[in-house]
Each structure stands twice: as C-alpha cells, then as structure tokens.
Amino acid sequence: MIVFHGSNQIVKNPNVYYSKKYLDFGKGFYVTTFQSQAEKWAKRKSSRYGGNSVVNVYELSDDLSQFNVLKFSQENEKWLDFVFNCRNYIIYFRNIFYTTYEFNSCI
C-alpha cells in the first residue's frame, strides 16, 4: 500500500519523537492513502514553519499483523471521543484507558 506524509521537508526515516502529543490520534507519524490530503498538510506546514511543501511517499505492507491496531470503521461517537481525548492527552476507548504505547497504529 502506498501512503503519503505532508511536510515542509523530506522525511527519509519517519520518527514519532518529533511529533506533538496532542494530535487527533495522539503522538505519531501521520500518513494517509490520499495524496491530495498530504498535499494540503504539506502546504499548511510550509506556510506555518517555512520551507517548501513536500509530499513524502512510502510503501507500507498491507499485512498489519505485526502492529497492534486500533481500528475505527467509521466516524462515530466512539471515534469522536477518542479524538477529543487524544487532543487532551487522555487515551480512552470502549471504557478502557490506554497509554499511548498500548497500540502502535490507528486506522
């Protein structure tokens, strides 16, 4: 699967260390399967921080079995609660509190 990351620089080796904590799905390296969405992110990032808009392209295996995935099939109340709590650095889903290290992918 091809995924895209919008930035103001080339990112050869993604690293969550540089991520902010209070993002929609918590601290992480955000990618999308939609190139147009990554282009918007790149423009936003370069307008805020300078530099050029860069869309980084990566190949990710379709086999996600090596990851502990938290999957949302649709944007619903559970999804919205999760996003709200991540923005406030509270990881909570299905009446269970999570630390940011109990899952490593959110789709």
CA distances from 63 to 27, 32, 59 (A): 22, 16, 12
User: How far, CA to CA in Å, does 32 sit from each of 4, 36, 92, 95, 107?
Assistant: 5, 9, 23, 28, 10
Model confidence band, residue 101 (pLDDT cutoffs 50, 70, 90): very low
Q: What six digits make up the tokens of 107? A: 């789709």
Put simply, whether the predicted model's pTM sits higher than 0.75 gets the answer no
> What pLDDT, on the 0 to 100 scale, is given for residue 95?
47
